[in-house]
Homo-oligomer: A and B are copies of this chain.
């Protein structure tokens, strides 16, 4: 699978960020065509000191083509537009190929 990752640094106004993120942004992102799984991680700390991140959103697609179709769709453009409006300065977006390892 291909995973699209949005990693956010701490917002200036966490309450306002959370409100928009939960009520508006994730609702838009859930409409990506071909979205297979959508995982949110609320960052709570780091084992070797503070962390510089606040929240991470991970969106899974069947493969890179499916992700690119989702990003180019009208739903994808609505997500991008919303993101740039509320978090352009604190978000980093990247993607990659996912594999799972078995526990030993």
A96 touches B43 (CB 8 A): yes
Contact with B along A90-101 (1 / 0, CB 8 A): 001111111111
A95 touches B64 (CB 8 A): no
Partner of A56, one of B4, B5, B42, B101: B5
A41 touches B98 (CB 8 A): yes
Contacts of A103 in B (CB 8 A): 30, 35-38
Known A-B contacts A30-B102, A103-B30, A104-B27; A95 and B47 likewise in contact (beta carbons under 8 Å): yes
Q: How many copies does the complex hold?
A: 2
Interface of A is mostly: strand
Task: Report the nearest B residue to A28, measured CB to CB.
Answer: B104
Report the Cα distance A37→B39, complex, angstroms: 14
- Which A residues are closer than 8 A to B by beta carbons? 3-5, 7, 26-27, 30-31, 35-48, 51-53, 55-56, 64, 71, 92-104
